[in-house]
Amino acid sequence: MDNRYAVMDLGTNTFHLLIAEGNISNFKILVHQHIAVKLGEGGINKGVILPAAFERGVVTLKDFSRKIQQYKIQHIKCIGTSALRNASNAGEFIEKVKNESGLNIEVIDGSIEANYIYMGIKAAEVLNEAYTLIMDIGGGSIEFIIGNNHAIVWRESFEIGAARLMDSFHQSDPIDPASIEAINTYLEHKLGNLFTAIERYPVQQLIGSSGSFETFAEMEALRRNDSFDLLSIKNYKFDYHDLQFVINELIHSTHAERAVNAAIIPVRVDMIVVSSIVTRFIIAKLDINQIALCTYSLKEGILAEMMSNQ
């Protein structure tokens, strides 16, 4: 149908399928699937998609293709990010997916990824005149964007995502203090461009784009016995002290404790630890105490572009 759109976001950990109809200010979701493909598992820092992950990816995209055909979608975007940007066998994966599912994967660079994330956040109507720092913690990369409701003034994608950090630093259960310190030192070294940008464009608010921030929000709401439905909201404002409590609890938790926590989806059980360390580091380093979640991200940004072009 002419006003139906399908967006696939092929992340390092999760493959998303969003099928929607309407316009970006008032669209109806027909399908929203997220599958824990773990495309980067075991190979993310080696620059290769290992056979089991390769097969999971192909099988998932064949399933997505069947769903798209079922809904008779004409407007389709299939976007690959960090894992496919860096894998030596990405071309082989893209070709196999094309041959077996008919889907054309478009691998985008980090700058375009950051731009789509901003477009998603903007579509949620959570930005105002003030400069805001947007952070999207993926498995392969982390995008930082500074902007307001008019435009982006700075953006950069860093290949330091949660899967990469976990592979390099999270080897004990729970994570040990020396590894936490090593991550903080690594971030201090890697994020120099961000710190320079913040000096030029001071921000008072941090918006976390979906992902780990959804887990933080679920845990904060659970802690306060609040009713909370991620599917029905576009944004959520954190209580600074409650968020700090949740983050510290996650950092010092064991795998077993996280695995039985109803607020943590299975694909985030392990990576939420390094995501928490990154978030705590950014909040402290930049001295930000206004923090919010936006449930819109890359796929909604792509959807916004597709809908505006029709």
Each residue's pLDDT tens digit, 226-275: 777 777 889 999 999 999 999 999 999 999 999 999 899 998 999 999 99
* Ordered strands of the 290-294 beta sheet: 152-158, 142-147, 132-137, 205-209, 290-294, 235-237
As a whole number of angstroms, the distance between CA 111 and CA 108 comes to 8
Q: What angle do CA 231, 236, 237 make, to 5 degrees?
A: 170
- CATH number assigned to the domain with residue range 4-108, chosen from the 4 options 3.30.70.141, 3.30.70.1290, 3.30.420.40, 3.30.360.10: 3.30.420.40
pTM: 0.96
Q: Where are the domains of the chain?
A: 4-108, 111-298
Question: Which SS3 state, helix, strand or coil, does residue 131 take?
Answer: coil
Domains 4-108 and 111-298 share a fold: yes
Please state at what angle helix 271-286 crosses helix 192-200, rounded to 10 degrees.
40
pLDDT band per the 50, 70, 90 thresholds, residue 117: very high
CATH architecture for segment(s) 111-298 = 2-Layer Sandwich (3.30)
**Per-residue model confidence (pLDDT) at position 233:** 87
209, 227 in Cβ contact below 8 A? no
